[in-house]
């Protein structure tokens, strides 16, 4: 990690919101993480007869009107609706009032890997069947990836830095990490940060399936996402949003906000290797983890838990496991590791944000979420403790969350107990 000036501003998590296939809201989400619930089922929103993968971690019973009026919802793609919903929960959970006293110091950073794919598909069909004049004039602002952050800014009134990461499956983690750095350097006092995605569509499913990236365990949907298991056959698509309210510590204390955890570090690295695959030695993932630890001046022996990227794809799981083992050495055997994707699926640009919520809950509540469906651990994954099948109680003082995006975007973010 290159030397750079470090600002000593500390950043804490004061609110969280989540919309996922295993729970909307912190209480339901936490309960599902502890119980090891699967959110995967057969897709019932479109005809999958021509698809090799017919399963996904769908969000059911989502009602946009719980968070916005009908007119606003009609002008948003599902991914932006998710973001507004999760952000609304997070701001409420933080007991944060945004007004003229703090609106210019409050920003938004919401990532998305794909954006408004559902709207794009629907409107393309209208173009072909009904003509160009029938395409909605809201097409462009509904499909562009930045619109989740923009809509959250509009709905909350946050006028500070507003931006978007589009680093594929690392977008949610990049957004949280970038928001962390924005606060550290003094460009904002509060950031509403996370990721959102809604790509369970015919085109989205076909694209990933035809890459041979997705599970086709259609006869056992709840068992299909099985990270680190020898019988894994690909990831299961998920959808949803995770949003954290990050605050500069002194500001949080001044308003007597509850504090879930402190964000201590943000590491990044590039693969410079392949459009979709990780370089097999895991050296770049190791650099990423080390960069995160170095920023927070945290020792490897301090880490209690790692929320792994753990996609349930053959190569990714092996490379990440090898990287963790080589990075932590003999201490790796003392770590608890798990992939919550085994429960809520791979939520693409929202994955890192939803997993950040899970990681903060683990730190705040001293438990390790399980890797469900881990019946036969793959020996190539290094014999690590992936917390198979059931959650466990454990003191979690320091935790990491890993994300890796297509194109070679590696991200690690680190959380620790707030101790004053």
Residue 398 tokens, joined: 């320091």
Residue with tokens 């019973």: 61
Catalytic residues: 169, 309, 346
What count of residues does the chain have? 420
How many Å separate Cα 168 from the centre of its chain?
Answer: 11
Residue with tokens 């994300």: 403
Question: What is the C-alpha to C-alpha distance for residues 382 and 74, in angstroms, rounded to an integer?
Answer: 49
């Amino acid at each position: 990690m290159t030397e750079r000036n470090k600002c000593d501003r500390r950043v804490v998590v004061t609110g969280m919101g989540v919309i996922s296939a295993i729970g909307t809201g912190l209480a339901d989400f936490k309960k599902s993480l502890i119980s090891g619930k699967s959110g995967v089922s057969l897709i019932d929103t479109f005809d999958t007869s021509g698809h090799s993968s017919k399963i996904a971690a769908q969000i059911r019973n989502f009602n946009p009107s719980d968070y916005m009026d009908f007119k606003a919802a009609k002008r948003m793609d599902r991914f932006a609706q998710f973001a507004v919903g999760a952000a609304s929960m997070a701001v409420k959970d933080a007991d944060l009032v945004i007004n003229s006293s703090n609106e210019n110091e409050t920003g938004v950073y919401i990532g998305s890997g794909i954006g408004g794919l559902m709207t794009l598909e629907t409107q393309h069909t209208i173009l072909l069947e009904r003509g160009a004049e029938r395409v909605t004039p809201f097409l462009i602002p509904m499909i562009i990836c930045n619109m989740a952050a923009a809509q959250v800014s509009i709905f909350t009134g946050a006028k500070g830095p507003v931006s978007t990461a589009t680093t594929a499956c690392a977008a949610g983690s990049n957004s949280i990490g970038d928001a962390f750095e924005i606060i550290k350097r003094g460009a904002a006092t509060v950031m509403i940060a996370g990721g959102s995605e809604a790509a369970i569509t015919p085109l989205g499913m076909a694209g990933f399936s035809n890459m041979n990236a997705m599970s086709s365990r259609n006869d056992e949907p709840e068992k299909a996402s099985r990270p680190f298991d020898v019988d894994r056959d690909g990831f299961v698509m998920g959808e949803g949003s995770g949003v954290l309210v990050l605050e500069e510590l002194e500001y949080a204390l001044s308003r007597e906000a509850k504090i879930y955890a402190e964000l201590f570090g943000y590491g990044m690295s590039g693969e410079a290797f392949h459009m979709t695959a990780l370089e097999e030695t895991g050296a770049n993932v190791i650099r990423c983890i080390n960069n995160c630890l170095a920023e927070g001046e945290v020792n490897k022996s301090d880490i209690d838990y790692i929320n792994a990227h753990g996609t349930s794809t053959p190569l990714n799981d092996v490379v990440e496991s090898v990287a963790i083992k080589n990075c932590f050495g003999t201490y790796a055997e003392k770590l608890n590791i798990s992939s919550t994707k085994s429960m809520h699926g791979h939520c693409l640009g929202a994955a890192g944000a939803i997993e950040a919520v899970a990681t903060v809950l683990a730190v705040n509540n001293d438990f390790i979420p399980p890797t469900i469906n881990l019946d036969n651990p793959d020996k190539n994954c290094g014999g690590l403790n992936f917390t198979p099948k059931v959650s466990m109680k454990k003191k979690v003082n320091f935790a990491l969350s890993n994300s890796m995006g297509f194109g070679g975007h590696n991200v690690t973010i680190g959380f620790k107990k707030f101790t004053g």
